Amino acid sequence: MLDLKGYGPALLEGAVVTIELAFLSLAVAITLGLIGASAKLSDNRLAKGAATAYTTLIRGVPDLVMMLLFYYGGQVAVNMLSDHIWETYEIDFFFQFDPFISGVVTIGLIFGAYMTETFRGAFLAVETGQIEAARAYGFTRLHTFRRIMLPQMLRHALPGIGNNWQVLLKTTALVSIIGLTDMVRVAEEAAKAERMPFHFFIPVAFVYLALTAGSELFI
Amino acid sequence: MPDFIAEWLDRNDIFTAMTLMEYWGGMVTTVQLVFLSLVIGLVVAVPLAILRTVKNPFISGPVWFYTYIFRGTPLLIQLYIIYYGLAQIEGIQETFWWLIFREPFYPALLAFTLNTAAYTTEIIRGAIVSTPNGEIEAAKAYGMNWFMRMRRIVLPSAARRGVQAYSNEVIFMLHASAIASVVTIVDLTGAARNIYSRFYAPFDAFIFVALLYMLLTFALVFAFRKLENHLLKHQRPLNS
């Protein structure tokens, strides 16, 4: 049996952190993706421009750089904000910008951009006849969106969401770099302390493999 | 020039010649690392992709296993395993390999190459498998043997179908190379991290490096668009 030298529980906790992070970021990404896709398909030029700028920006910058920017920059921004609030309103307001929040925000933002593209394609794949029929039945815009567009769009979007999820899962490993004690971080510390890199990294690699292979079954 | 930019440039202590040189050095390292791993990865991936399409499971199986492992685990873990693991192999420190793998650059290059080769293998395999049957039949009818068929018909036509997916992989690799900074390589991200910790200026250090990465990305996108236009010239509509 695999002897984890007492790091077993810590690794398990790390795995839970990884999964929590992945699901929360997925929720953020899907929300942003829906908003982004709606903005890209709308007639409003400002919304269209903002969504295009968002997706272009995200696709041009590495995820790690974004994460470092949000993590280090986020704390500085919070400090500046709390200073400002203290000086003008004399209200004591402060919170620590922790790696978990910056991880969720960054991964959510990055995959929100990819989801935007996925959903945009899926919305375009819904036949216009369906929308016209809904309008002929006197559906309101919101009603059309909820009853006609969303269910039919999801069918087209599902493969794309699955792909994005697989990539997202692997991207969560990056949060160990900004100091969140996820699986990779625990394995790294254990490997350094015990001088046994293969012993700790290979099981963690297999957990990721199991997660990606397991989610393949659901998609 | 707007006043606030002029004012900002006046008070600028961060972007001196020294730090700009550091960014430049990082850019050179990033480009070297990405370019070398992509080129070696592509050279490795073409034969692997062909092996992957062979019917014999004892040949295609191991290749499938390799791509499955490397595509199913995060690159960061692969990098850690290779970077920390190579030093732990018994006796490696006495051989000449140690002279190479002592530098963090080469373990990172190895990890990136193996990773990109796995993805590229699958891209090329997909392109090979979807070769229209008629093309292969025509080649057979002309009496081409397997090797010539591969060289003249299957691979060029696969290149046309694979180039779009491959351009995504190249950009993905450029972005993934940022994690090289974790194993003490001073690439673009490493330079930004050094400058951040020296001046405690996260916005300046990281936004600047983000702009540099965007520049590289868009240069790549532009180059691949040119390549695609070249490869798919025959599909271009007339009068355009």
* Span A52-110, pLDDT tens digits: 999 998 889 999 999 999 888 888 888 888 888 888 887 777 777 778 888 898 899 99
Six-digit token string for B177: 């190379």
Choose among B144, B117, B89, B110: nearest CA to A196. Answer: B89
Decide if A32 contacts A112 (C-beta within 8 A): yes
Rg (CA), chain B: 22
* HEC assignment per residue over chain A: CCCCCCCHHHHHHHHHHHHHHHHHHHHHHHHHHHHHHHHHHCCCHHHHHHHHHHHHHHHHCCHHHHHHHHHHHHHHHHHHHHHHHHHHHCCCCCCCCCHHHHHHHHHHHHHHHHHHHHHHHHHHHCCHHHHHHHHHCCCCHHHHHHHHHHHHHHHHHHHHHHHHHHHHHHHHHHHHCCCCCCHHHHHHHHHHHHCCHHHHHHHHHHHHHHHHHHHHHHC
Choose among B161, B216, B155: nearest CA to B23. Answer: B216
* HEC assignment per residue over chain B: CCHHHHHHHHCCCCCCHHHHHHHHHHHHHHHHHHHHHHHHHHHHHHHHHHHHCCCCHHHHHHHHHHHHHHHHCCHHHHHHHHHHHHCCCCCHHHCCHHHHHCCCHHHHHHHHHHHHHHHHHHHHHHHHHCCCHHHHHHHHHCCCCHHHHHHHHHHHHHHHHHHHHHHHHHHHHHHHHHHHHHHCCCCHHHHHHHHHHHHCCHHHHHHHHHHHHHHHHHHHHHHHHHHHHHHCHHHCCCCC
* Span A12-62, pLDDT tens digits: 888 999 999 999 999 999 999 999 998 998 888 999 999 999 999 888 999
- Using a CB–CB cutoff of 8 Å, tell me whether A78 touches chain B: no
Q: Indicate whether B38 belongs to any domain.
A: yes
Q: B95 or B154: which carries more pLDDT confidence?
A: B154
Decide if A163 contacts A114 (C-beta within 8 A): no
Asked if A184 and B74 come within 8 Å (Cβ–Cβ), the reply is yes
Percent of chain A with pLDDT over 70: 99
Select the residue from B172, B206, B222 to test the A interface by mutation, using most A Cβ atoms within 10 A: B206
Q: How far apart are CA A85 and CA A79, in angstroms?
A: 10
Residue B151 contacts by C-beta under 8 Å, 6 or more apart in sequence?
A: none
Phi-psi region of A131 (alpha: psi -120 to 50; beta: other; left: phi over 0): alpha
User: How many domains does chain B contain in total?
Assistant: 1
Of the pLDDT bands very low, low, confident and very high (cuts 50, 70, 90), residue B174 is very high
Q: Indicate whether B239 belongs to any domain.
A: no
* Span B96-150, pLDDT tens digits: 777 777 788 999 999 999 999 999 999 999 999 999 999 999 999 999 999 999 9
Domain ranges of chain A: 8-218
* Span B197-214, pLDDT tens digits: 888 888 888 999 999 999
Least CB–CB distance from B214: residue in A61, A204, A212: A61
Least CB–CB distance from B81: residue in A57, A66, A198: A198
| A and B: number of Cβ contacts within 8 A | 113
Asked if B72 and A212 come within 8 Å (Cβ–Cβ), the reply is yes
Least CB–CB distance from A60: residue in B77, B202, B217: B217
Q: How far is A168 from chain B (nearest CA, A)?
A: 10
Select the residue from A21, A65, A75, A180 to test the B interface by mutation, using most B Cβ atoms within 10 A: A65
List the CATH number of the domain containing B79.
1.10.3720.10
Architecture of the domain delimited by A8-218: Orthogonal Bundle (1.10)
Choose among B35, B26, B22: nearest CA to B188. Answer: B26
Q: How far apart are CA A186 and CA A190, in angstroms?
A: 6
Q: Indicate whether B240 belongs to any domain.
A: no
Decide if A147 contacts A62 (C-beta within 8 A): no
Q: Indicate whether B117 belongs to any domain.
A: yes
- Domain region containing B198: 18-231
- Give ipTM to 2 decimals: 0.87
Chain A positions touching B75 (Cβ under 8 A) are 170, 173
Asked if A60 and B213 come within 8 Å (Cβ–Cβ), the reply is yes
Of the pLDDT bands very low, low, confident and very high (cuts 50, 70, 90), residue B73 is very high
- Using a CB–CB cutoff of 8 Å, tell me whether A217 touches chain B: no
Q: How far apart are CA A36 and CA B232, in angstroms?
A: 31
